[in-house]
Structure formats: structure tokens, C-alpha cells
Amino acid sequence: FICYLRLRDRDHSLPYPPPSSNALIQQLSTMSITYSAISWADSGTLSGFSPKSVPFAIQSLPRSPFLNPNPVSSFGLSSSLQGSSIEFRLVLSKERQSLPFVVRNDHPQNADAPKQYTRREKKPFPVPIVDLRRASRERVKNNKDKPRRPMPPPKNGMVVKSLVPLAYKVYNARIRLINNLHRLMKVVRVNACGWCNEIHVGPYGHPFKSCKGPNASQRKGLHEWTNSVIEDVIVPLEAYHLYDRLGKRIRHDERFSVPRVPAIVELCIQGGVEIPEFPTKRRRKPIIRIGKSEFVDADETELPDPEPHLPPVPLLTESPVSEITPPSSEEETVSLAEETLQAWEEMRTGAKKLMRMYRVRVCGYCPEVHVGPTGHKAQNCGAFKHQQRNGQHGWQSAVLDDLIPPKYVWHVPDVNGPPLQRELRSFYGQAPAVVEICAQAGAVVPEQYRATMRLEVGIPSSVKEAEMVV
């Protein structure tokens, strides 16, 4: 006998985070349960019942019975969850059958920061190779004996017109982010280690022994904190600028003749942003494929001369360092922090949408990024075992964190309180440096960063109290 459960809320919605089991039970008591039963008769025939709605009672259960995986999860019953899931047992008022029930929460209470791979580790593929090969075989099988369809942009050399305003929005969001960070860093202290690339947002540096720079063993891993610059917060990741994104790959002897620009700027240029300093080829007709990797440009002589088009929005420029002024009041600081956080989210969200259409490649061994269908041929990879690859990069599909690396720093629960303690390191959370700067300036932390910052975790006041935590 298998029973499938589906809850239907009448008047209430589940709160996040759940305040307590008793409060959640009190809210769930006003809900009804819709179930449908399926059974097999003695003769082997399948019999079913129409869905019914009945009231039910809830009994909270101890945690131990649900620690093991649910053996009937393959039949459609939810398995027990970890983190912030809450288990109950439903008791139907008519049949008095006890059934397990799990309340899921999409946002965990706390989570660890993304793993930072060492120089000896290779980045994992976003999609496993086995899945890529399986999808390729399915695609070839489905397209067999079918006429070849025309390639959509940007594979045919054209620009995706619907994404041009988004490219301008991402470009301006990056400029606003840089200008606002220059001002915020005058009121929010950001410390940088003089030996490694680690930074800390707060009045003074953290005491953790995590320095891996030169002579770190002599300093026992302690950092030497100094003043920071904007490049310590936003990683200056550059890529080669392509005049023709479908042209020939950059050779090793051309690595110094091709200009390099910030990778996010190159993505915006290929997405349709016109920058006079970095011209690019704009086709008005799709290319003509004559082979798997060969093509010719269509004849555009009969087309009229292109008219100079105005950008959807004017392009912003970075403010000179001499013109940067700190915010004059606390209200202006909070407003500036909110605007900075909004620009950070706009840049990342828009870049993720652009990467779905315009391919971005990253080396699996080093941080080198290339915006284009295929990576370049420059042999400048100096990562682990680069001699075996003759300095060539191991190109693979990039993810958003490869294009815009979020530099994670330790979250300071109370800026005006006591400093971080080395013994309580496991209780502190982490957040991207931009988010931590805005949070200390007074901005509201977005929901997706609350788990890694561990805002819902209580921090012991002393080491003796931490030893008593189970």
C-alpha cells in the first residue's frame, strides 16, 4: 500500500526560517491533506481511489528515527533532509495511520563557502564529460536524416539583438560598482595582507593563521595587514579582445600584439556594446558555412551603408581618484551601500544571462579566461604540470564565478564589538568582499548570502562556552 501526500495551505504560508517546531505545528494545524491511495487486489488488478481531503493531526518526532535514509523514497515519499528540514508524523483522523512527513526549506540555515582549489587541483567540469557525450549522441541521433537548420545568432556571426540592452546594463553596472566601492572604502576599513592576496573587511585584520605567502612559516601563518586598493576587492581578471569572435584563434606569437581588456568588458563588447577604443566586427548577414570549421562572409555590398545608431543608454566612465569623496552622512552611506549591492547583483545576473549565449572558456588549471567559442593558443599557462602540456591551457566551459570571482572574506558579526577569536573560527561565516563591505555600511544582506554568512548561528561569548556546544 502506497500513499502519496500533497499539502494544500488554506490561509497560511510556512515562515522562513522556521521559528520553532511548536510554532510550525500550530500553523500546520489549519491545513488539510489531499491523498490518493493505490492498492492491488488479490487477483493482481490495480484499484485506485479518488483524491480526498481530510483533516489531520501532527505529532513531532525525535530526530534520531529520521537520520537514516528513507528506504521507500523511490516510491515517491520524501526522504529526510539535513540542515533546516523538520520532520513530523501525520495522523489521519479517519484511518489513524501514522505517515512520515518532511517540511523542506529551500534556504539552508548555514552553509560553507565554495571550495577554493589549490594549484595542484583541476577545476571540475560544469557538466560531466559522460553527460556531454551522451547528449551529443542523442543530438546526432535526433538530427539524423533531417535537413540542416540555419544556425541562430551568435553562432552565425550576428549579434543577439534582444541582449544588446542587457550588455549595456551590465557594463554600466560594473562602472557604478567600481565608483561606489571607491567611496565606500573611505568609510569602511578594508585590510590587505602584504604577503598574500587575502583581505579582511573590518577595523583590524583577523587573527587566523592562513597566510600562504613568502616566509609564511617564519611568521607561523600570521598575516601582516596593510592598506588595500580596489583591485584587492574586485579581482582584475583580463582576457584577449577579439576583433572577430569567429576569426582564427590567437597564436602564441601574437600574445603581445592583441590587446587585453577586463573579461566582463569583453563579454559586453561581444554582446553589442560599442566602445571606440576596442573596435569589433559587426556582420549584417549570417555567415556561410562551407565546412565544419570553415566559413565565408556573406556579400554585404548590396546593403545600404549602416546608419550610426545611438546606444540604448549612455556609457558611464570611471571617476578619477582625485574626484572621489566619501559619503557625508550615515543616511548617504546606507543609500550608497544599497546602490552598490544592487549594482553587484545586476552585473552578476546580467553576465550569467549573456554567458548562456556567448560562450566563455576558462583554463582548468589556472584563472585564465577567454571570451569566445574556442580558447586561444598562447602557451602561457604556468599552473601545475604545465610542462606536460607545453604551457597550453586546458580549456573548458566557464561558470559565473570564473568570470567574476567573488573574493570571500570572514564576516564580522559586530563591527563595534570584540574582534574575531581564533578559537571560534568554526562559528564565523564568510561572504564576498563586496557584500561584506555593503553589509558593514548598513545595507540589507540578500537572502542568498545569509547561509554562508551564518547570520542565524549563535556565536559563543567565550572559548569555555564554545566547548560546551554539542
Average pLDDT over residues 38-49: 41
State the pLDDT at residue 102.
62
Q: Look at residue 35 and tell me whether its pLDDT is greater than 70.
A: no
Kindly report the backbone phi and psi dihedral angles of residue 446, in degrees, each rounded to the nearest multiple of 5, phi listed first: -65, 160
Q: CA 94 → CA 34, 55, 56, 90, 91, distances in Å? A: 13, 8, 8, 12, 9
Find the range with the poorest average confidence among 22-26, 256-260, 298-302, 372-376. 22-26
Mean pLDDT of 143-172: 92
pLDDT tens column, 225-272: 999 999 999 999 999 999 999 999 999 999 999 999 999 999 999 999
User: Using one digit for the tens of pLDDT, what is the confidence trace for 107-136?
Assistant: 677 888 998 888 889 999 999 999 999 999
pLDDT number for residue 89 = 45
204-218, 287-301, 340-354: the lowest-pLDDT one: 287-301
Indicate whether 94 pLDDT > 50.
no
